Amino acid sequence: MRLSARPIAALVAALALTAGLSITGTPAVARPDDRAAAAEASDVSIAADTYTWKNARIDGGGFVPGIVFNRSEKNLAYARTDIGGAYRWDQAGKRWTPLLDWVDWDRWGWSGVVSLASDTAEPDNVYAAVGTYTNSWDPTNGAVLRSSDRGASWKAATLPFKLGGNMPGRGMGERLAVDPNKNSVLYLGAPSGNGLWRSTDSGVTWSEVTAFPNPGNYAQDPSDTSGYGNDNQGIVWVTFDERSGSAGSTTQDIYVGVADKENTVYRSTDGGSTWSRIAGQPTGYLAHKGVLDSSTGHLYLTLSDTGGPYDGAKGRIWRYDTESGAWTDVSPVAEADTYYGFGGISVDRQKPGTLMATAYSSWWPDTQIFRSTDSGATWTQAWDYSSYPNRSNRYTLDVSSVPWLSWGANPTPPETAPKLGWMTESLEIDPFDSDRMMYGTGATVYGTEGLTSWDSGGTFTITPMVKGLEETAVNDLASPPSGAPLLSALGDIGGFRHTDLDAVPAMMFTSPNLDSTTSLDFAEATPGTAVRVGNADAAPHIGFSTDNGANWFQGSEPSGVTGGGTVAAAADGSGFVWSPEGAGVHHTTGYGTSWTASTGIPAGATVESDRKNPKKFYGFSAGTFYVSTDGGATFTAKATGLPAEGNVRFKALPGTEGDIWLAGGAPTGTYGLWRSTDSGASFTRFSEVEQADSVGFGKAASGASYQTVFVSAKIGGVRGIFRSTDAGAGWTRINDDTHQWAWTGAAITGDPRVYGRVYVSTNGRGIQVGESSDTDGPGTDPGPGTDPGEPPADADCSVAYTVTNRWSGGFQAEVKLTNTGTAAYDGWKLGWTFPGDQRIGQIWNASHQQTGAKVTVTDAGWNGKVAPGSSAAFGFTGTTTVDGTAPGAFTLAGEACAVG
């Protein structure tokens, strides 16, 4: 299977499929600038947050095209994904921390990361070149983000062109590089013929290097008129030779890779003033990577006949001696024996002459990894044939922490399950530890901490090193009233049944295996009955379950089906209605042994079921709502005047016949949220909801007469995730500006068993799970001193103080103040005394004063009113010369609060 983002035609659909675990700290914030590229950005305002957020664990699930180690600080590493943001490695937790969850709806393209660069001179500095598509699918230009606190906060310089984190060739790189000698100088290779760009002020402003002679000319498919396959992949990597400079002076020798098969490597020897094609270079290939081993003076190129990351039928590895100018083909196999291109490459900074490379496009029977300890003169392979088709592996692959990576497969040799990988465009040896290596695949990050056993003839163990990196695209979600709390429909890897949100499921849905699940449903009255549909290379495109999704069996399908579409289950599980791609709407009784075409409803309509009446089904298409009262056999057009363009999603309220909520539309037309209480005969719009894209229901609040409604919407001019406990009379935003996840329009549902819990779809950051701090609903009062081990407090408050991130000389913390009394706060001041020399730097959601070690934090105005049982949260970055500990006591208006 190919796991990665794929383009699709419509704008919202072009938030294409591809690839977070629970967030260990307050996510990064950004200061973006949408003006000219040269302008400095302003601070982003942060909204109140009384929810905590984490991912339903899947671990991975998409393409990781880049891994970057800092070469001056041990254990500092970053990973980039094509649409799922960037991550920093947390060595203590052996997990990845997401850095771009602040990317908002309007700039969703910034969740695609085309390149990363970590500053060796000042390791706190990190840069990300962001933008998902270079064509019209992405409404915004690309940007270079810069952070001086390892991604805890960001500023942005918007570029005058787009970048393509999810475009062809996205595994090549890195396109972004920091001068190791003069770190105020950065280079960026641009796509689409935009050339080479340079910043001389640490990424604040950018200008084109007009002296660079070649903007590239290679496109994956010149005949494609969509702007996707025919885009010029441009300048694809930049590499410095740090030996040609000294600290504080510009590095003189710079190498640049270009998407041009006849002219793929250029060099400057005067700090970027002039450039020339290197004579004698290999031709007929694209250089995916260019890595320089400064100990030997060798520049290594991995080459392929295409830009990847899926394709590539021929490849080579060449070595350039920067002293003598000699080129040498050091490929591990003869050209005639390659059926793949070479992609990932890394040199061991502790062992000069040791390097590794990957056959990124070797899909069958497996990817291959090569290793040389003599500068490429000779190579060994991760696996060889002992006697075909049997393999002898130098490694063992242990996926027990992410067992679904086996795909439940039992292939015929020489294939194995799990596989060593595919789309292996990134491979990095830890510059401080010759035993540690990580590499990205189309589904995960693999790694080892025993690599040098390769050279001594022993075996080494490869395991997923992907915890915290959640990269799935979510198409649909369901939370049944019994059984597993969550069922999911995902792009590329099908979907999962989560019985524990904090545990990786053993296996994705199988029987059938669907490349992407597009829709799923369960029978409201008998939730053990479930159905899912999706895309696959061949039939069947539908599966059924009678045990709440634990096991599945394949169904039959009508003729002409080409894709999943949408599906609905009758409230009692007695029948199903399916609107697949390639065929019209059909209905069945039982489990789909035969299907009958429905009448009165157009092909391609979205279908749902009434959650009480098993004979009633609903449909929507092009502004008209349709109703069936005979199990889906016939539909009748009802309400009109609903959104005629854009994506529309609707849900029927569990337990009540005919109560329907509909969200959707497009900015160019009708767009909003509607409700019907008469089975779709008429709808009433919620005037205060400007835009809405998905709607779902959860457990009612304590004392409420209506189930909790959740929407991904724009209300009061603010985009976010909103909750209503009074049938839409009032709305509360429950996410904040640090938890936005770019695009969240595909699906949302509450949990019918846990008040306040909500499951939110993302397009590349997995399934977000929100938990309310008000666990019992409005009006409940947990009271002070609920923990028997906590001494009584003087004030009606409790404080949770969490250090969410640490780095040399600094830290980041999150503080949550909870009202444990019976009266609301009308403004608050929280005080504490820091141990040691800790000082607050940047603070959000509040203001502060600090005198010596004493700190007073005051509400930001809009979050000053805190109802009983509710919380106000704020965060900050700080400095310290020691590994600072948390304060031991807090006061509210001078009176002590409980801690914990």
Cβ distance 353 to 339 under 8 Å?
A: no
The candidate with the shortest Cα–Cα distance to 196, out of 256, 254, 150, 140, is 256
Residue whose entry in the numeric block shows the structure tokens 């005639």? 336
Question: Is the backbone of residue 581 left (phi > 0), alpha (psi -120 to 50) or beta?
Answer: beta
Token pair belonging to 303 = 């080459």
Contact 189, 236 (CB under 8 A): yes
Distance of alpha carbon 234 from alpha carbon 377, whole angstroms: 31
Of 80, 135, 77, 116, nearest in space to 237 by CA: 116
| Block residue for tokens 């491979």 | 427
- Looking at residue 793, its amino acid is A
User: Pairing relation of β-strands 235-240 and 276-277?
Assistant: unpaired
Alpha-carbon separation of residue 537 from 6, 10, 421 (angstroms): 15, 21, 21
- C-alpha 236/C-alpha 66 separation (Å) is 13
Question: What distance in Å separates the CA atoms of residue 388 and residue 312, rounded to the nearest whole number?
Answer: 24
Q: Is 750 helix (H, G, I), strand (E, B) or coil?
A: strand
Contact 594, 577 (CB under 8 A): no
Q: Note the residue count of the chain.
A: 900
Prior bond of 414 cis (ω within 30°): yes
Q: Tokens at residue 125, please?
A: 């500095």
Between CA 121 and CA 116 the distance in angstroms is 16
Secondary structure class of 106 (helix, strand, coil): helix
What is the rounded distance in angstroms from the CA atom of residue 523 to the CA atom of residue 30? 43
Tokens found for residue 96 = 């990845």
The answer to whether the CB of 518 falls within 8 A of the CB of 8 is no
- Residue 184's Cβ-side half-sphere holds a number of Cα atoms within 13 Å equal to 7
Kind and range of the H or E run holding 96: strand 95-98
What residues have CB less than 8 Å from 489, skipping those under 6 apart?
A: 474, 475, 476, 477, 495, 517, 518, 519, 520, 532, 534, 747
Say which residue the tokens 């020489």 belong to: 414
Contact 306, 344 (CB under 8 A): no
Q: How far is CA 465 from CA 402, 439, 461, 582, in A?
A: 10, 9, 12, 40
Report CA-CA distances (Å) from 27 to 179, 211, 680, 812: 28, 40, 41, 10
Q: CA 491, CA 762: separation in Å to the nearest integer?
A: 11
Give CA separation, 588 vs 532, 595, 756, in Å: 14, 5, 36
The reply to whether 82 belongs to the active site is yes
90 catalytically annotated: no
Distance CA 407, CA 511 (A): 11
Q: How far apart are CA 672 and CA 669, in angstroms?
A: 10
Pick the catalytic residue: 90, 149, 241, 492? 492
Q: How far apart are CA 9 and CA 579, in angstroms?
A: 19
Among 33, 49, 82, 774, the one annotated catalytic: 82
Catalytic residues: 82, 492
